[in-house]
């Protein structure tokens, strides 16, 4: 692959600029709704508007990613999201904005993200040699973790000092920058299997994903693992508030320390460069997550809880990189978009489904037991996978 380093830099810069702006707006919208309403109903509506459209569009987006030039799909999705956000900015300036309109724009942004995500996952193998995929994915994970540490602070500062309008304008500006950078990336259209109907491609993609021995195995364990990760992902702030105290700095530390661990894990993956046995990496990551989640439930002191949370975060880049690279290596280029769209659907559906169970459960069972129990089950899942790698 000619000029793969230059292409990788352009891709990483473009996508992380886009991620930075999107993260700022996501935090700003969440905090704005919280401050304006203090309503669980509005927060639930916001979450649904952010997830459901992405869930519904993903399968079609996977087909598009396998039919059309992925570079232009990513650019169009970024532009679509930016235009929707800019429209809301104008409505705020004119005094016509409302919470309902904020929900509509969140849904539109979710559609754009649903189109963009499969194309991003499928594009990288087109520009990066197979033997370099782990390193580049690791660098991407590191950059993403770093931005996820910075974006809450930037989003909060913009929201507090200038209001939600300028927080949203940050996304418009970063989207324009990301599109300009991506424009310099030269990517060919993926190889086509012939002119067939959208529904045929859709069914074929699902059949391929569920029928492929490696891909289907990753999919099953991915779903199980992320279901069991749900308590740590969503209920840890509630656990901190109930067990250690409701001070804001504790809740902030809970979020930041996980991201710091993920950043450290991303640096390790980037330095490592490749994984010989990716199944082993995935299994060890599940075991590591499981043990640390179980320890969160029995940590008697907050400093100990934070230390375990940091350690837990270090496993995420290894898990994400090993899973992503395995898919990129196993799946033919002309099917990658549809396969990544199925995984996007799983990630967007499994954790909310888990919250329907673990959320109410946390009101009548000690949340520490939920954390420890789900962690032990996740560790057992990793042990099972390790013993049955083949």
For every one of its 390 residues, what pLDDT tens digit does the chain have, with 9 covering 90 and above? 568 888 888 989 999 999 888 888 887 887 777 677 756 567 667 777 887 888 888 878 888 888 888 899 999 999 999 999 999 889 888 887 788 888 898 899 999 998 898 888 888 888 888 888 888 888 888 888 788 778 877 877 787 777 788 888 989 999 999 999 999 988 877 766 555 566 777 777 778 888 888 888 888 998 999 899 988 887 887 888 888 887 767 877 887 888 889 889 988 888 877 788 889 999 999 999 999 999 999 999 999 999 999 999 999 988 988 888 888 888 887 777 888 888 878 877 887 788 778 878 888 888 899 999 999 999 999 999 988 765
Say if 175 falls within a structural domain. Answer: yes
Helix (H) or strand (E) holding 75: helix 70-93
Say if 190 falls within a structural domain. Answer: no
304/298 Cα distance (integer angstroms): 10
Is 78 in the same domain as 106? yes
Is 56 in the same domain as 203? no
Q: Which of 184, 207, 239 is the last residue of a domain?
A: 184
H-only helix segments in 297-388: 302-313, 315-330, 336-361, 367-387
Say if 82 falls within a structural domain. Answer: yes
Whole-angstrom CA distances from 329 to 51, 197, 335 are 28, 27, 12
Say if 297 falls within a structural domain. Answer: yes
Output the pLDDT for position 176: 94
Q: Specify the CATH number for the domain of residue 8.
A: 1.20.1250.20
Is 163 in the same domain as 243? no
Is 77 in the same domain as 174? yes
Number of structural domains found in the chain: 2
Q: What is the pTM of this model?
A: 0.76
Any idea what DSSP says for residue 333? Answer: G
263/269 Cα distance (integer angstroms): 10
Is 236 in the same domain as 381? yes
18/171 Cα distance (integer angstroms): 8
Say if 335 falls within a structural domain. Answer: yes
Whole-angstrom CA distances from 387 to 27, 283, 289, 326, 377 are 41, 9, 17, 19, 15
Residue 222 near residue 282 (C-beta atoms within 8 A): no
Q: Domain containing 77: what range? A: 1-184
71/95 Cα distance (integer angstroms): 36
Residue 128 near residue 333 (C-beta atoms within 8 A): no
Is 372 in the same domain as 331? yes
Say if 124 falls within a structural domain. Answer: yes
Q: Which of 122, 169, 170 is nearest to 334 (CA)?
A: 122
Is 160 in the same domain as 199? no
Say if 305 falls within a structural domain. Answer: yes
Is 377 in the same domain as 259? yes
Say if 256 falls within a structural domain. Answer: yes
Q: Which of 152, 184, 216 is the last residue of a domain?
A: 184
Q: Which of 153, 184, 215 is the last residue of a domain?
A: 184
Is 26 in the same domain as 100? yes
Is 228 in the same domain as 168? no
Is 171 in the same domain as 55? yes
Is 315 in the same domain as 342? yes
């Amino acid at each position: 692959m000619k000029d793969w380093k230059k292409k990788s830099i352009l891709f990483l810069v473009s996508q992380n600029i886009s991620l930075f702006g999107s993260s700022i707006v996501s935090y700003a919208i969440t905090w704005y709704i919280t401050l304006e309403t203090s309503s669980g109903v509005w927060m639930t509506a916001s979450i649904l508007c952010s997830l459901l459209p992405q869930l519904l569009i993903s399968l079609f987006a996977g087909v598009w990613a396998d039919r059309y030039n992925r570079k232009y799909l990513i650019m169009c999705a970024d532009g679509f999201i930016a235009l929707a956000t800019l429209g809301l900015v104008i409505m705020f300036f004119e005094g016509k904005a409302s919470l309902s309109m904020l929900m509509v724009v969140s849904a539109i942004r979710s559609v754009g993200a649903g189109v963009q995500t499969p194309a991003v996952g499928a594009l990288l193998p087109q520009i990066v040699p197979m033997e370099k995929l782990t390193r580049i994915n690791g660098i991407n994970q590191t950059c993403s973790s770093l931005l996820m540490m910075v974006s809450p602070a930037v989003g909060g500062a913009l929201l507090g000092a200038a209001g939600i309008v300028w927080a949203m304008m940050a996304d418009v500006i970063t989207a324009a920058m990301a599109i300009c950078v991506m424009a310099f990336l030269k990517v060919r259209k993926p190889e086509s299997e012939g002119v067939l109907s959208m529904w045929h491609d859709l069914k074929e993609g699902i059949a391929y994903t569920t029928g492929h021995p490696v891909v289907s195995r990753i999919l099953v364990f991915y779903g199980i693992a992320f279901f069991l990760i749900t308590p740590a992902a969503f209920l840890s702030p509630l656990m901190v508030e109930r067990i250690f105290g409701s001070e804001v700095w504790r809740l902030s530390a809970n979020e930041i320390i996980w991201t710091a661990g993920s950043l450290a894990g991303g640096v390790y993956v980037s330095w490592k460069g490749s994984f010989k046995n990716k199944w082993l990496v995935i299994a060890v990551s599940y075991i590591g997550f499981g043990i640390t989640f179980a320890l969160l439930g029995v940590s008697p002191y907050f400093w100990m809880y934070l230390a375990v949370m940091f350690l837990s975060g270090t496993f995420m880049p290894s898990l994400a990189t090993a899973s992503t690279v395995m898919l990129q290596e196993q799946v033919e280029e002309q099917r990658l978009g549809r396969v990544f769209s199925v995984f996007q659907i799983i990630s967007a559906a499994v954790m909310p489904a888990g919250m329907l169970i673990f959320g109410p459960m946390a009101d009548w069972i000690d949340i520490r037991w939920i954390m420890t129990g789900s962690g032990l089950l996740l560790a057992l899942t990793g042990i099972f996978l390790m013993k049955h790698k083949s």
